[in-house]
Amino acid sequence: MFIHSRALKLQRKLSELVRIGPNPTNVEIVAGLDVSYRGKDFGVAVAVAIDRNTHKVLDCAASRGKVDIPYVPGLLAFREAALMIAALESLSIKPDVVMVNGHGLAHPRKLGIASHIGVVLNISTIGIARHYLYGKIVSENSENKILIEDKLVGYVIRTPRGGKLYVTVGHRVTPDFARRITQELLKPPFSLPEPIRLADQISRRIVRSYV
């Protein structure tokens, strides 16, 4: 079952394992992870693998099931990580880096869902969030940096339509690599990088197909 205090303790423990860089080499496959819900406790997670150069979909997989843990700000991973990991491991190919819908190090205990998944699977991950959660935003050189304990962990970037996107280090990537790969896969007129956008779109279609 779910013990709030245990969750906090686990996050503080796992956060010690998070690494900023080094970046993966020869990045050709980028995956995106997202979860949609039917009602309040039935979720569908989808993993989409994209070719970093052609932006074509290489593979796609889904995982669904009852979700008993409620959403609590700061504890999102306990609600969604299991389904996301199941979907990710169902892919027939291995991504070089994974984008997760949620924050990475920009988190109260430095362990947003992107970092959580990165540490648990020991893979490179990037957090992609549409809303602010935690951290100091500093405008510098016409760019908005996200600082945690005075350390750079990511950037707030602008989407083609003027919206904001919080891009942060999940695990084993640098802030600049996270931003660069995100920009590369951010195709107008969309406001989310392709891997996440497709995972989001596909997961809601699956969910909505359930009458």
How far is it, in rounded angstroms, from Cα 24 to Cα 94?
A: 13
How far is it, in rounded angstroms, from Cα 72 to Cα 138?
A: 27
8 binds DNA (CB under 7 A): no
Q: Measured from the CB atom, is 73 or 140 closer to DNA?
A: 73
Supply 134's token pair.
């935690």
Q: Measured from the CB atom, is 37 or 190 closer to DNA?
A: 37
Supply 172's token pair.
């084993």
Q: Which of residues 73-132 bind DNA (CB under 7 A)?
A: 73-77, 101-103, 107, 112-114, 127, 129-132
Q: Is the CB of residue 117 less than 8 Å from the CB of residue 125?
A: yes
In the complex, least distance from residue 40 CB atom to DNA, rounded to whole angstroms: 7
In eight-state DSSP terms, residue 23 is P
CA proximity to 69, closest of 88, 32, 101, 43: 43
Q: Per-residue contact track with DNA, 52 to 81, x per CB under 7 A?
A: -------------------x-xxxxx----
In the complex, least distance from residue 101 CB atom to DNA, rounded to whole angstroms: 5
Q: Measured from the CB atom, is 22 or 172 closer to DNA?
A: 172
Q: Is the CB of residue 108 less than 8 Å from the CB of residue 8?
A: no
Residues that bind DNA (CB under 7 A): 34-39, 71, 73-77, 101-103, 107, 112-114, 127, 129-133, 204, 207
